[in-house]
Amino acid sequence: MAHPHFHCSVAVEPIADQTFPDRNEFAYGYTVTIENRGDVTAQLIGRHWTIVDGNGKVQEVHGLAVVGHQPLLQPGERFQYSSWAQIATRHGTMSGRFLCVTDKAEVFHADVPEFLLADSGSLH
């Protein structure tokens, strides 16, 4: 029996030249790595992100593709992309999921566990 599985990991870096504390604008770049750990070919179709700032304000982001791509991954292949988010506080979180489909038209989701948006130097 075919088993689709995309594993997702994220690395975060603050974007200093897009961060303006006096205007409550804090920008974070993130790089997502998506690896096909299943045993079937599958394609990433869309995304849904939940972004929460330190005040609890929630932003939902939905869309097709990631940075203009809908990668088709064979078992063992990976795809990496970078994007960014802006929040109104020094710390926040993001989590999400990708909508995916196998080469047999079976739909599945690849979850991205919650990760921290923060400048590691600002955490005590």
Domains by residue range for the chain, with CATH: 6-112 (2.60.40.1470)
Interatomic CA distance for residues 74 and 62, integer angstroms: 25
Tens of pLDDT, residues 57-94: 999 999 999 999 999 999 999 999 999 999 999 999 99
CA 49 to chain centre: 7
Q: Give 27: exposed, middle or buried? Use CB within 10 Å, 0-12, 13-18, 19+.
A: middle
> pTM of the entire structure?
0.91
DSSP state, residue 105: -
